Structure 1
Amino acid sequence: MAELTAQQKIEVIVKALDSKRAEDIQTIKIGDLTIIADYFIIANGTSNIHTKSLAEEVEFKMTQLGIEPLRTEGYQGQNWIVLDYGDVVVHVFYKETRDQYNLERLWSDGTSVDISQYIVKE
């Protein structure tokens, strides 16, 4: 299987999060600001169980395409789960934890990416 571009990864990840009703999915281009990654995808669940199921769905959809995360963190606490796919890093928060860390503000120099075409409208 060919390596996916960052844009293709974003599409798969956002659709996976959206399919499980993640709240407030944001994608931020940070490649000009850091070597950590090119993009952050940030979303939150409404409970610890929801947060865990969001992360598991992303992992499942990516694994189906032959892509495993370079590393994962946070499954134990389920307040903030990080899935590192190299150029794209996914942050799945429990809502209160997301409000506390406010990554969007920390990375406000990044560029917001329009992902509306991947979100299913109710």
Structure 2
Amino acid sequence: MTVEQITKVIYDAIDDKIGQDISIIKIGDMSSLCDYFVIATAGSQRQVKAITDNVEDELTKLGIEPRGKEGHGAQNWILLDYGDVMVHVFDEESREYYKLEKLWADAPRIDVDTLV
């Protein structure tokens, strides 16, 4: 699978669990960290976990496992590291506080329909 196809699967898995304000940011031209950030908001800490569990389940079906996971204890921000794609799922308060989109303001936003 291409990075873009994986990113689309991630987007769809978040959308399936009613993730809000899903953003795809292409940071690969600005950083060696990864190619894409996928950022989403959940309505509660419980939903943060449900969304990230669904992302993991959908990618596991494809034989793709995260390289790392952070935040499962607190559940107000969970990060899933898939190498070329990093998934950030926040509760509303944490997303507003950390403002990742503002930190990467110069990176292009990607429309999900252009990924496949």
Shorter-chain TM-score bucket reads over 0.9
* Structure 1 stretches of 4+ moved >6 Å: none
Identity %: 47
| Counterpart position of 1:58 | 55
| Counterpart position of 1:14 | 11
> What is the DSSP-based 3-state SS (H/G/I as helix, E as strand, rest coil) of the residue aligned with 1:60?
helix
Cα deviation, 1:29-82, whole Å, max 9, x if unaligned, reads 000111110100000100000011000000000001000000000000001100
Deviation at 1:117, TM superposition (A): 7.2
Cα deviation, 1:80-100, whole Å, max 9, x if unaligned, reads 100000110000001110000
Aligned length: 115
Counterparts of 1:76-115 in structure 2 under 5 Å?
A: 76-115=73-112
**Aligned equivalents of 2:113, 2:63: Cα separation in 1:** 25
**Aligned equivalents of 1:87, 1:99: Cα separation in 2:** 25
Unaligned 5+ segments in structure 2 are none
TM-score by length of 1: 0.91
Distance 1:10 1:107, change over 3 A: same
Amino acid at match of 2:20: E
